[in-house]
Amino acid sequence: MKKHNFNPGPSILPQETIDGTIEAVKNFAGTGLSLLEVSHRSKEFEAVMNETVALFKELLGIPEGYAVLFVGGGASSQFFHVPYNLLEKKAAYLVTGTWAKKAYKEAKLFGTVEAVASSEDKNFTYIPKDYVIPADADYFHITTNNTIYGTELLKDIDSPVPLVADMSSDIFSRPVDVSKYGLIYGGAQKNFAPAGVTFVIVREDLLGKVSRPIPTMVDYRTHIKDNSLFNTPPVLPIYSGMLTLRWLKNLGGVPGMERINKAKADLLYKAIDDSKLFVGTVAKEDRSRMNVTFVMAPGFEGLEEEFMALTKTKGMVGLKGHRSVGGFRASLYNALPLESVQVLVDAMKEFEASH
């Protein structure tokens, strides 16, 4: 039976990425060695690193003056890397979900941190508006997509101070004006590669301005100087990421991907809005294209397990909502085909017709 992978992360990858990675694990670039055992300083892997950086810059339109880095530790490690490198006097954070809250908490270890607004009062079901970004902040941190609760910032905001964004779960899903950001980071396991590598896009002129000593591995300048090869990087995820970016480029790049993502999200949200059995959980104007959260309508809560059982018979996996929200979460990351969303929508209509 064909599987329809709605997992929130680690999540679905393009089949081309999986197949190409398997081949490289067997024989990398004709070396007769596995990707798992090749030297990260070999000319063959250096070519992989260079192509992956070049594809990042091309697909996102990254201007001059920015570096693209690949490091370990996951996006959660960037919660302290960012303030270590950028926070001198004060930072500002927009708290829109669990991960934003964790980033805010971590930054407070390094100095004064202001939460300019939070949507925790309504269980993170909306994105705050009309907040004021303090002009004296060293940077303003946002989390563009809220994987657990299902909200997303779909437009680049204007900030009077350097803008820092965690784009773990929506990178490459829509065009981004990188020039509006001082730093963008994210984990790989949604739209880029298997877990294990973290990407960082940083404007180089922001670095070297804090007075604190920075440990070598935490200092972004270390990784810029050595092209992310100061120590052994996560070789396999970087290679897989390169294959994913090739796949994305062949689909029409980020603008082409956005059209596909919009079609997927529109299809599912229409089914939810037209239904009497299912209801969305977040403010409509803040709905995420990447993570669609919904629950049974009031009075029908007892049908949740029955619907989950139906989805499993049709090959769907990963639809259970996060424990803090309940219900269902359909993650529509780049590699998920429109066909899978249609299977889910058809199942919703079938279930409603029988109840």
Residues annotated as catalytic are 99, 166, 190
Task: Establish how many alpha carbons lie within 13 A of residue 304's alpha carbon, considering only the half-sphere containing its beta carbon.
Answer: 16
CB 335 within 8 Å of CB 12: yes
**C-alpha separations of 248 from 6, 57, 71, 145 in Å:** 19, 13, 22, 20
**C-alpha span between 60 and 171 (Å, rounded):** 9
Phi-psi region for residue 70, left (φ > 0), alpha (ψ -120 to 50) or beta?
A: beta
Three-class secondary structure of residue 126 per DSSP: coil
Three-class secondary structure of residue 122 per DSSP: helix
Phi, psi values for residue 206, rounded to 5°: -85, -15
Strands 183-187 and 145-146: unpaired
